[in-house]
Structure 1
Amino acid sequence: MSVLHKNKVTKIQSSYVLEQERKEKRAMQRRRIAIIRFTLLSGILLALSSVLLYTLISQSANIEAKIEEKQKLEHKLEKLEKKERQLKEEIKKLNDDEYITELARKNYFLSKEGEIIFTVPEE
């Protein structure tokens, strides 16, 4: 019923009422400014946290890739060090005359004087 009838009460035009209306307007403006500041600050913090989170995720993926690459390279290094040790042993053996004669007899079927070499087929 109040919707159909307009409010016919008039405001008192005193200095106190006008002062109170000004205070309400200032308070409303301050609230609006505070809401705008809060929204703006929230947006900035959200953007900043998004950038930092993206950086963190990309760096962790980068670190994982580097760790995997490091493990592969360490494994390759172990193989190469093992091959190096074998080659050094081979060099030492090649300086020995007995090893060279045994190698020549085995690979090139060379024999000593009066010796007969028989080759047996492998299975």
Structure 2
Amino acid sequence: MRRLVAFGIVLTVIVGFLTSIISSKSDQIDSKLTQKEHLEKKLRASQEDEKALKHNIRLLHDKDYIGDIARRDFLLSKKGEIIFSKLDIDSH
């Protein structure tokens, strides 16, 4: 009878210990999954930024694009070219 009670107590302690470990690991897994989702979103955003920046780099290597920017923003012109700028009028 004493052996049975001792075995029951030992078994209960072992089951409690294993349940505690499983619960702890489950919480860690949930935390890691949440962290993974956050990092995947951050990765996708970074990849989109990289794509946009590569597009801008390609545009900046285009001489026509640079010329358009120079004309629009700095009112620079080619020889013999006249640039007319529009005035922005607020209609209040």
**Residue 52 in structure 1 maps to residue 52 in structure 2:** no
- Higher radius of gyration, 1 or 2: 1
TM-score calculated relative to the size of structure 2: 0.86
| Worse overlay, 99-108 or 68-77 | 99-108
Work out which structure has the larger RCO, using CA pairs closer than 8 Å and 6 or more positions apart in sequence.
2
Residues 122 and 88 (structure 1 numbering): CA distance in 2 closer, same or farther, change over 3 Å? farther
- Give aligned-pair identity as a percent: 27
Q: Over aligned residues, Cα RMSD in angstroms?
A: 1.6
Structure 2 gap ranges (5+) = none
Q: 1:87 aligns with which of 25, 37, 53?
A: 53
Between Structure 1 and Structure 2, how many residues are aligned? 88
Which amino acid is the alignment partner of residue 49 of structure 1? Answer: V
Shift of 1:118: 1.8
Question: Could you say which residue in structure 1 is the equivalent of 2:9?
Answer: 43
Which ranges of 4 or more aligned residues in structure 1 deviate by more than 6 Å? none
CA distance in 1, matches of 2:85, 2:25: 67
- The answer to whether the Cα contact below 8 Å between 1:93 and 1:99 also exists between their aligned partners in 2 is yes
Once the two structures are superposed, residues 75-98 of structure 1 have per-residue CA deviations (whole angstroms, 9 ceiling, x without a partner) of 100000010011111111000011
